[in-house]
Structure 1
Amino acid sequence: MHEEHRRFYSQHMGLDMEMLVVGDYGYPVLIFPTSNGRYYEARDFHLTDSVRWFVENRLIKLFCIDSGDKWSWYAKHLHPGTRVHNHGLYDRMISEELVPRIQHECQVDKVGVAGCSLGGYQALNYAFRHPDQVAHLFSMGAAFDIKMFLDGHYDEQAYFHNPPDYMPNAQNDNFYKMNIILGTAEHDFCKGSNYQMSEILSRKGIPHRLDVRPHGTHDWPVWRDMFPEYVSSIF
């Protein structure tokens, strides 16, 4: 598969961000890495390989971005309020710098987003905060409540990055047009979070699919099995 390493300066982050682009043409899917993951993680754990057929047939183009976790959720040396603020800068980098470039490059109005574990939180939070930019959302093995990273701190910024809290009150017509798949496994410790999010969406009448695999845990083999099936739902 065609691969291209890209580096770009982010005005919001104030530093260079790195990204791996897999494929040369197709519908764009932005992949968020797991906790503290790097842009090459999806390749190294063969998640990109799992959708090789779609890439080689020029149906999709993957954009694998670096995480910002070391400045936000995992920056234990920083005040929790600063962690949330820094995640907000990462969110703005994606929404105001990266996604507009992808939209222009691929000539699309909306993109797909995907991620495993904390990357699944990133994908879901991004999609629900920016539903005008996202048409397809695939979370795999994710939990969605970020209060565990905040050491008891909670403010307005934290609320608006915590989907279980803000989604019950959120209103946007684009939610009802989005292709949403919440993937988990029977023995995944994040399974309960997916049931909770599915219930929130169901109460709002937002169409979605809750996919609970009967076997497997919180690990890459399950996610590699899920991803090509989820990608096929784009077409």
Structure 2
Amino acid sequence: MSAPIPTVVLVHGAFADAASWSGVSTALRSEGIPVLAPPNPLRGLSHDASYLASVIAQIDGPVVLAGHSYGGALITVAGTADNVVGLVYVAAYVLEEGESLGELQGRFPLSPLVSNLKEWSYPGPGGEPAVEVTIQESAFPEVFAADVPEDVTHTLAAAQRPLAAAAFEEKASAAAWRTRPAWAVVAGADRAINPQVERYGAERAGATVVEIEGASHAVALSRPKEVAELIREAVRATR
């Protein structure tokens, strides 16, 4: 009896939604690989990782987690679940236990994203005002998706989902890559996360790294075949 094919759980990051994985999902499904792309609440590292863990717990059989951008931080924490067999980071933050997004970013020159964030307010826990951020619409194409057709980037900019600002300061409660094999895509022309941040985290995690030259932060959308191929490699290796 052959081993079950792991379910690939695709975790989107900030300023995007699960539709950003559409090309990757199609490529994986065409080869019979089960895929799930749940919503990411984007309310904070602990909250979002707990939500992702609840999704993972309801999946029968092994799971390979793939996280884009901030989604990489979530799979790092939630990936300690017993049925998670592999981690794939896609233009993502790869945190160490006890480290925050801000601390990891602070090791390297800041990307253009930082100076192009717009603050909004929303009702936080208890009804008190809290801060969330999006990318300025005028800067979104260049910062997030420079290799995506312009008409598509305008739609993405208008539909982006905000991230709670507090997420940048929360510390990771675990580092699943210490006990799980990891793979990583580095987007060589990323202007949302400094590619040096992606390389550093991936190398620290001992990940198998593929760098896609000229790829923007929206690499899963602009280069889905290459991203899907690395995820397929993770599925094959962990089956």
Match of 2:75 among 98, 113, 123: 123
Match of 1:193 among 186, 197, 219: 197
The 5 Å alignment of 1:19-98 reads 26-43=5-22, 46-55=23-32, 60-69=33-42, 72=43, 84=44, 87-95=45-53, 97-98=54-55
Partner in structure 1 of residue 148 of structure 2: none
What amino acid is aligned across from residue 233 of structure 1 in structure 2? Answer: A
Partner in structure 2 of residue 136 of structure 1: 86
Name the SS for the 1:232 alignment partner: helix
Name the SS for the 2:28 alignment partner: helix
Partner in structure 2 of residue 210 of structure 1: 209
**Is the 8 Å Cα contact of residues 33 and 119 (structure 1) preserved in structure 2?**
yes
Task: Please report the TM-score for the alignment, with normalisation by the length of structure 2.
Answer: 0.57
What amino acid is aligned across from residue 101 of structure 1 in structure 2? Answer: Q
Separation (CA, whole Å) in 2 of partners of 1:114 and 1:153: 20
- The percentage of counterpart residues that share the same residue type is 11
**How many residues end up aligned between the 2 structures?**
164
Partner in structure 2 of residue 228 of structure 1: 229
**Is the 8 Å Cα contact of residues 124 and 139 (structure 1) preserved in structure 2?**
no
Of structures 1 and 2, the one with the larger relative CO (CA 8 A, separation 6+) is 2
What amino acid is aligned across from residue 54 of structure 1 in structure 2? Answer: E
CA RMSD of aligned residues (A): 3.1
Query: 4+ runs of 1 displaced by more than 3 Å?
Result: 36-41, 148-154
**Is the 8 Å Cα contact of residues 183 and 234 (structure 2) preserved in structure 1?**
no
**Is the 8 Å Cα contact of residues 123 and 137 (structure 1) preserved in structure 2?**
yes
Provide, for residues 175-218 of structure 1, a one-character-per-residue CA deviation record: whole Å limited to 9, x for no partner: 34x231111132223311122213433xxxxx421221233222
Name the SS for the 1:193 alignment partner: helix
**Is the 8 Å Cα contact of residues 181 and 210 (structure 1) preserved in structure 2?**
yes
Partner in structure 2 of residue 112 of structure 1: 64
Partner in structure 1 of residue 101 of structure 2: 146
Partner in structure 2 of residue 180 of structure 1: 182
Partner in structure 2 of residue 4 of structure 1: none
What amino acid is aligned across from residue 228 of structure 1 in structure 2? Answer: E
Residue segments in structure 2 that go unaligned for 5+ positions in a row: 95-99, 103-113, 115-163
**Is the 8 Å Cα contact of residues 137 and 179 (structure 1) preserved in structure 2?**
yes
Name the SS for the 1:194 alignment partner: helix
